[in-house]
Amino acid sequence: MTAQQWIILGILTVTMALFIWNRWRYDVVSLMALLVVTVTGIVPPDEVFSGFGHPAVITVVAVLVVSKALFNAGVIDLIARQLGRVGDRPTVQVAALTGLVTVFSGFMNNVGALALLMPVATWMSRNSGRSPSLLLMPLAFGSLLGGMLTLIGTPPNMIIAAYRANVAETQFGMFDFLPVGVSVAFVGVVFIALVGWRLIPKKQDSVASGELFEVSEYISELRVPEESKFVGFPLHDLLSVMPNKEDITIVGLVRNDKRFLAPSMYRVLRADDILMVETDSDSLKNLIDDGGLEFIEGDKNDEKDEEGEEEEEDEKEKPDKSIESDDVSVLEAIVAPESLLIGKTASSLLLRERYGVNVIAVARRGKRLQERLGRIRFQVADILLLQGGANSLPSTLSELGCLPLAERGLRIGKPRKVLLPVGIFAVAMTLVAINVLPAQISLTCAAVVMIVAGLLSPTDAYKSIDWPVVVLLGAMIPIGNAFETTGSADLIASQLHGIAQAATPAAMLAILMVGTMLLSNIVNNAAAAILMAPIAAGLSHAIGANADPFLMCVAVGASCAFLTPIGHQSNAMVMAPGGYRFSDYWRMGLPVSVLVVVVGVPTILLFWPL
């Protein structure tokens, strides 16, 4: 081994370890690795950022923008809403949801397709009286299966298609993945619908049943007495003297039996006003001691009254603790991967002042966080209980990058513009299919036309791009090239060939696919494709075979991260809403993975012979 081979293999080993450790996000890790290979002289300075102009990166960006435009126009929503008619049988519900998300994922971003149908799945499960866990994991797996259908279905396909140009004269076309993808996806969906969902552990806890937040348990009621020094002053003045005002959320104000939900901070307080407050015990004590408010304990009144009539009268006197009305809604939402909330706190974002929403509670990995709300740094897949204007809350969720976990607020688009975006997208796909334009050019044109046509604002276009994935791809592509040019990929391929000399070509393909699957389950699927593609090409060269079936095995393997929640964003997105544990994924994921190999390898050999 040469010095450069030792260096690049050492860097890749450390990079993989950092991906698994997950201390820093994958885009940061990939950038660090890129800088190290540059400083060590393996990647020339003029090629450091060449990956950001790679066709696969441009295609990913264009697909994300086009997907967002289709979503805003309500195209997918018109189809998704028909799912409410499929009935209550779990097999039918799983088949309908998984099949539909599989089709959607073939032509748009996997996470985007999942995001469109998650509210529908949650709504269907609650209406049927069953746990959302029975529908959400099949939905996530369906989004992964659908990515295998077309060139634009998932980043690994785009990477493998572009890499093929290095070992052949042309890259894979738009529908070259379809024969293998359809075969594997069909078998996968049928298995999930008939058997797979039955392997998911039954979740009976509050998370899975959709009752993660029992709002009344976390709302305290405080009365403003006549002698309070804040009578006649706005709410803002009361909160300004609190030592931890960012931890106090005023979700409602009751005055003369009339409720004012999410009141303005400049509403003037009057004697006997009742404030509905979400806060921790320390801040509650400060409101009583420093603010001069009085704590209302409704349960104590019940204990004092022994006669039914008196209890009934007390109930009438208690203020309504509901924090919803015709004008104000409360709903659960999940923090999406592209959300602007990630890494920030509610207090730093001034959510109430800027966006008109209150954060009532936060749950992470299936448990409600007990920390002070204003100090919680949001993470991907956190579930938030939000209060805001009924009409504005859906659009606010979109602006914040959150997904509703209820059927309401599902559509943000304008159905009157459905035909235009569908037409633009169809033209772009046709141009790619008949080889008039490459995918990165055709889809970029489609994205620009959609923006010019007013289907998507430039701001929304930039927000729709998953920048961490773009950075990951742009950084890892030069590293993958260095992995190949230093001879490291051929070295590993020759070692694998030596170990598996007695194996048949079909067995080699199966080993390659399984190896890629395992790598994809612990690192990003795009990174797995970038690293395994040179090894696949080297292995095919070592046995004197066509590289296409080997590259197809990498594409399929990289797309099938069914064993862990960290293998793909889709898996992570459903973890908290479904109440899943880390160990729950392999129960259905392992048999699905085995099926993919059993069906995928023969199908690849049929359509892409050695």
Q: How many Å apart are CA 140 and CA 152, to the nearest integer?
A: 18
Of 262-266, 345-349, 537-541, give the range with the top mean pLDDT.
537-541
Q: What is the pLDDT of residues 211-231, one digit of tens each?
A: 555 554 456 778 899 988 899
CB 207 within 8 A of CB 576: yes
Q: Which residue has the tokens 């035909």?
A: 419
Nearest to 150 by CA among 185, 191, 118, 190: 185
Average pLDDT over the chain, rounded to whole?
84
Amino acid at 92: V
Q: Helix crossing, 547-559 with 525-542: angle to 10°?
A: 160
Nearest to 188 by CA among 255, 133, 139, 260: 139
Domains and CATH numbers, the chain: 3-207+421-607 (no CATH), 220-317 (3.30.70.1450), 328-404 (3.30.70.1450)
Q: How many Å apart are CA 304 and CA 310, to the nearest integer?
A: 10
Phi-psi sector, 83: left (phi>0), alpha (psi -120 to 50), beta: alpha
CB 11 within 8 A of CB 39: no
- For residue 228, report the phi and psi dihedrals to the nearest 5 degrees: -65, 140
Q: What is the pLDDT of residues 96-148, one digit of tens each?
A: 999 999 999 998 888 888 887 888 888 788 778 888 889 999 999 999 999 99
Question: Whole-model pTM?
Answer: 0.75
DSSP state of 410: -
- For residue 324, report the phi and psi dihedrals to the nearest 5 degrees: -125, 155
DSSP string for residues in 509-556: HHHHHHHHHHHHHHS-HHHHHHHHHHHHHHHHHHTT--HHHHHHHHHH
CB 534 within 8 A of CB 483: yes
Q: Helix crossing, 585-607 with 133-146: angle to 10°?
A: 20
Return the bridge partners of 362, or none: 384
Q: Which of helix, strand or coil describes residue 402?
A: strand
**Per-residue confidence at 452, pLDDT binned at 50, 70, 90?**
very high
SS3 string, 357-369, reads EEEEEEEECCEEC
- Long-range CB contact pairs, 190-193, < 8 A, 24+: 191/591, 191/592, 191/595, 192/94, 192/98, 192/138, 192/141, 192/142, 192/588, 192/592, 193/91, 193/94, 193/95, 193/98, 193/99, 193/138
Nearest to 358 by CA among 232, 235, 231: 235
The share of the chain scoring above pLDDT 70, in percent, equals 87
Within 13 Å of residue 476, how many CA atoms lie on the same side as its CB?
A: 32
Q: What is the pLDDT of residues 297-338, one digit of tens each?
A: 443 333 334 444 444 444 444 444 455 666 778 788 888 877
Nearest to 331 by CA among 361, 307, 290, 352: 361
Phi-psi sector, 455: left (phi>0), alpha (psi -120 to 50), beta: alpha
In b/e form, how buried is each residue of 183-203, taking b as 16+ CB within 10 angstroms? bbbebbbebbbeebbebbbeb
Nearest to 596 by CA among 230, 30, 244, 141: 141
Q: What is the pLDDT of residues 3-56, one digit of tens each?
A: 999 999 999 999 989 988 878 888 999 999 999 999 999 999 999 999 999 999
DSSP string for residues in 36-93: HHHHTTSS-GGGTTGGGGSHHHHHHHHHHHHHHHHHHTTHHHHHHGGGGGS-S-HHHH
Q: What is the pLDDT of residues 168-183, one digit of tens each?
A: 778 899 999 999 999 9
Handedness of CA 508, 513, 518, 524 (dihedral sign): positive
Give me the pLDDT at residue 219, please. 65
CB 21 within 8 A of CB 502: no
In b/e form, how buried is each residue of 320-340, taking b as 16+ CB within 10 angstroms? ebebeeeebbbbbbbbbbbbe
Decide if pLDDT at 68 tops 60: yes
| Strand pairing report for 357-364 and 274-278 | unpaired
**Per-residue confidence at 448, pLDDT binned at 50, 70, 90?**
very high
Q: Quote the tokens at residue 588.
A: 């259905």
DSSP string for residues in 161-208: HHHHHHHSSS---TTTTHHHHHHHHHHHHHHHHHTGGGGSPPP-STTT
Q: How many Å apart are CA 124 and CA 407, to the nearest integer?
A: 9
> Strands, DSSP E only, in 336-418?
357-364, 367-368, 383-389, 402-404
Decide if pLDDT at 407 tops 80: no
CB 575 within 8 A of CB 565: yes
